Amino acid sequence: MDVSGQDAPRSWLGTPPPEAEGRSSEELPVPLWQHLPGVLTGNVQSFINWARSNSIWYMTFGIACCAIEMMATGASKYDFDRFGMIPRASPRQTDLMIVAGTVTEKMAPRIKTLYEQMAEPRWVLALGGCASNGGPYHEGYNVVDGVDKIVPVDIYVPGCPPRPEALLHGVMLLQEKVRWVQSAEKTART
Amino acid sequence: MPDDEAVAEPTVVLPRWMEAVAALVPDGVWQIASGADVPTLVVASTHWRGVAEAMRDQGFRLFVDLAAVDHPERSDRFDVVVHLRDTVQRGLARLRTTVAEGGVLPSLAAVFPGAAWPEREVFDLFGVGFEGHPDLRRLLLPDDWQGYPLRRDYPLEGPRVLDPESRYAL
């Protein structure tokens, strides 16, 4: 479609103001939205947030049985792809870390390293009871009582393990958070 | 069942390999038992590797697992148990020995290479040493971990109780 406004039909240009009679269309004080149909105005931040919320790439990072539910959610029946979520094997390329399982003391430094390797802005979703607060292994000798002891967590999804619907709900809550919380604040917080 | 009917004692038929192994390592086998489920040899810890080699030469070529049991009331505190399988005759065998706290067993990693990691795990969680092991480090816990968690006297909460200054104390 030609959107320059010169050769467009008059029908969507609107009625020229009365004092503009007799002048050419380039000189008319027509607002931008009249020249470019389908244009929405807004600020850049909300546009970026909208784009980010619909392309949350997550890390393929399963550390216990909740990873099975994460795989099921990523597979065709529940289909993470319809949220624009693609699994990435490198933390450099991911926006979201789904901590799917029990965090042991030996794994904790690795998780912190992976989190620090992710580019900002980054989000963390604690999937299941173990990642939320230790779950059935709460206060076990080798279990970190929740991944929020080592990295900041945005969304907690309870369950042992949570069903894929619960994980999808958590992801939709995270999308809300990405859309309505300014990413600059998120960057400053971490 | 009538009382006068004699109940025949089940005759225990020990597998032939048990006598053969006991003959091969005469000092090493302390006891031959049919066991509740699996034929068991109780082995002197000094002949641990020799009995394992004899078992391997008798056909038990498949190493199944190695584990330990803690009996804190005994002077020889730990039982170390090995299960072996004969894939041709389809038999399962168990070897058992005892180690004192701080004691050392000969490593079976030279006889069965698959025993290396189970021995690391037993070292990690029980503190039993294995002499001649190629790489005896902790397997499951961090390298700077204090204590051996599967011992009976280890507190359930672990380093949070043992040492509040530890970096694992949350």
Give the range of the structural domain holding residue B121, as residue numbers without chain letter: 16-131
Chain B residue at shortest CA distance from A141: B158
**Whether residues A127 and A169 fall in one domain:** yes
Number of domains in chain A: 2
ipTM confidence score: 0.71
Q: Taking phi first (over 0 means left), then psi (-120 to 50 degrees means alpha), and beta for anything else, what does residue A159 get?
A: left
CATH number at residue A145: 3.40.50.12280
Among B54, B62, B65, B64, CA closest to B17: B54
**Whether residues A66 and A157 fall in one domain:** yes
Residue A50: inside a domain = no
> Tens digit of pLDDT for each residue in B21-52?
777 777 777 777 767 788 888 888 888 998 89
Residue A7: inside a domain = no
> Tens digit of pLDDT for each residue in B1-27?
455 555 555 556 677 777 777 777 777
pLDDT per residue as tens, chain A (190 positions) = 444 445 544 444 455 555 555 655 555 566 555 666 676 667 777 788 888 889 999 998 889 899 999 999 999 999 999 999 999 999 999 999 999 999 998 898 899 999 999 988 889 999 999 999 888 988 888 888 889 888 999 999 999 999 999 999 999 999 988 887 655 455 545 4
- Judge: A142–B149 Cβ closer than 8 Å, yes or no: yes
Residue A158: inside a domain = yes
- When CB atoms are compared, the residue of B154, B155, B168 closest to A105 is B168
Q: Which tokens in the block code for residue B90?
A: 């389809």
Give the range of the structural domain holding residue A105, as residue numbers without chain letter: 55-183
Residue A48: inside a domain = no
The label of the residue with tokens 């003959």 reads B23
Q: Which tokens in the block code for residue A47?
A: 């546009």
Number of domains in chain B: 1
Residue B148: inside a domain = no
Residues of B in contact with A140 (CB under 8 A): 156-158
Residue B169: inside a domain = no
The label of the residue with tokens 């066991």 reads B35
- When CB atoms are compared, the residue of A106, A142, A149 closest to B158 is A142
Q: Does residue A135 contact residue A103 with C-beta atoms inside 8 Å?
A: no
Chain B residue at shortest CA distance from A148: B170
Chain A residue at shortest CA distance from B143: A106
